[in-house]
Structure 1
């Protein structure tokens, strides 16, 4: 049976949904989502013989949202997952992340290989720490309208997204980052979402009832917590200096959609070809043809099959 509760970990209150018995599996989602994003994975992974836990991440949903921007660094986000494993009474887990949850999963495996015995990332490749701070690198390349940059000033994106949360969620899920890479750039005066007078159709993979879970949650919480993750991008680069060139040696899996501009555009295309530089124990690179960014919601059967095969083969490895 699936159940939900709140646990204290790393000085925050973490709301989670859990199901099943067996080796622990943590599911970390990205922006702007909720633990509900894993609704198709929880029962399937539990039925396959695992204890699967999907938390609302720091700053989202029913989990604490500290006011301090610095409280959303990669150290705090990974710290939440480390503390959550202990709060659940376990010593080890497999960690799986999508979108922003993927960097959390990759860094959790990098920082604490004693706890995270295997790792899977969806849509966002593992960390390739460049020579300079990411936002500086963008600016030095002449780029001033990438969405990371638009998200930096507190209050700007919040105002746009909170004006009509229903429209926001339709626009973000509907675009799916599946258009050309221009979808990751913000046209001056139009904001991230584009013209609000243009109706947005829901994609086939989400129903009105499912969308209502996201709308209700973000109407209550607002968007600041999740946006603060982006406001630590340069700080995360600074904090992770000791791991320059480090590899993740645990068994790993990467899944993405072929139409996801995160892997085809400015940042990701080169990284997909070089996964083994960071993941020498990569078990599978699965690119799902025709799929977009919200991969575990959009193509649950294929994602579940790959995750379960990976878990059955690797969850028992210390």
Structure 2
């Protein structure tokens, strides 16, 4: 895990303390550290060294977007370019979409990764919909129940959970994740893919040892509530210049209906300033880790115009 030249600090935002890592000089961008830019990479609330509130209510989409707006203010910026990259979670992309939906005035341009914008469906609560399709054993359905895990289980679940998408793209089936077959016990570990090191796993696990999983899981426990809160934005568009990147082996790209939505006008309808869609070949869900140089090239080629 490369850390040379990265500085760390804690910024008070929106009633919490947010950890940010920074690198470089020049125009500020949230998510990219290269080529004449000042990169700022925040830990979202509940993750890493940022405060983790125990209550589900503290993880509404308004809290999450409010954190980023306050961070932009704390950085002394009116507008930023946003790259919705993340390590091992779809959550950064979702928050980036909603930042641009709610506060397009604070974003110059967006490069979002892996998870396409999902317009609000007035008659379909997210968790209820998932349960109706996949049953109560779907991982998001299972996350609705309370519980905490720590110690030795943290290393196992961090390692095997991160490897889940890698295994799924090979097996090409949802059932591996739905029945818990990928998330093994501490005595049964999934082999690491070539782009992930034991050092990475140890780092992630150390952070989860400190915070537990409650913060991250609360994002999923807030899905139905966020659906309710976002009713005023039903049918609203994301009006920010946008580039979207996805891996051709990403399980989310193979969710029924997603490819048609992305390539046959649905995404463009809701993101009218969408300028480019890139499908990277031979890449899964963690494309910014699997092919970091190529991903950086795609981000840079877009944001240099702003």
Q: TM-score, normalised by structure 1?
A: 0.86
Give, in whole Å, the separation in 2 of the partners of 1:233 and 1:181: 24
Task: Indicate the SS of the match to 1:114.
Answer: helix
Q: Which among 57, 65, 74 is matched to residue 70 of structure 1?
A: 57
Matched, 1:206 2:196: yes
Query: Once structures 1 and 2 are overlaid, which stretch shifts more, 265-274 or 132-141?
Result: 265-274
Measured against aligned partners, the alpha-carbon deviations of 1:1-29 in whole angstroms (never above 9, x if no partner) come to: 421100100000000101122222113xx
Which residue does 2:46 correspond to in 1?
59
Matched, 1:175 2:175: no
Change (3 A) 1:162 1:140: same
Change (3 A) 1:104 1:183: farther
Measured against aligned partners, the alpha-carbon deviations of 1:48-70 in whole angstroms (never above 9, x if no partner) come to: 22221001110011100112111
1:184 deviation in Å? 7.1
Which residue does 1:165 correspond to in 2?
154
Q: Which runs of 5+ in 1 are unaligned?
A: 28-40
Task: Indicate the SS of the match to 1:297.
Answer: helix
Measured against aligned partners, the alpha-carbon deviations of 1:160-184 in whole angstroms (never above 9, x if no partner) come to: x765222212212222252424157
Map of 1:215-254 to 2, 5 A cutoff?
215-254=205-244
Give, in whole Å, the separation in 2 of the partners of 1:226 and 1:148: 12
Which residue does 1:153 correspond to in 2?
145
Change (3 A) 1:267 1:5: farther
Which residue does 1:115 correspond to in 2?
106
Q: TM-score, normalised by structure 2?
A: 0.89
Contact 1:61–1:217, Cα closer than 8 Å, also in 2: yes
1:191 deviation in Å? 7.1
Which residue does 1:34 correspond to in 2?
none
RMSD over aligned CA atoms reads 2.0
Change (3 A) 1:175 1:139: closer
Task: Indicate the SS of the match to 1:255.
Answer: strand
Query: Once structures 1 and 2 are overlaid, which stretch shifts more, 245-254 or 261-270?
Result: 261-270
Measured against aligned partners, the alpha-carbon deviations of 1:242-276 in whole angstroms (never above 9, x if no partner) come to: 11111112110111111111110247344323221
Task: Indicate the SS of the match to 2:304.
Answer: helix
Measured against aligned partners, the alpha-carbon deviations of 1:71-116 in whole angstroms (never above 9, x if no partner) come to: 0111111100000000111111112224211110011011111111
Q: Which runs of 5+ in 2 are unaligned?
A: none
Give, in whole Å, the separation in 2 of the partners of 1:21 and 1:186: 44
Contact 2:164–2:177, Cα closer than 8 Å, also in 1: no
Which residue does 1:17 correspond to in 2?
21
Change (3 A) 1:174 1:148: same
Give, in whole Å, the separation in 1 of the partners of 2:98 and 2:164: 28
Change (3 A) 1:183 1:194: farther
Contact 1:150–1:186, Cα closer than 8 Å, also in 2: no
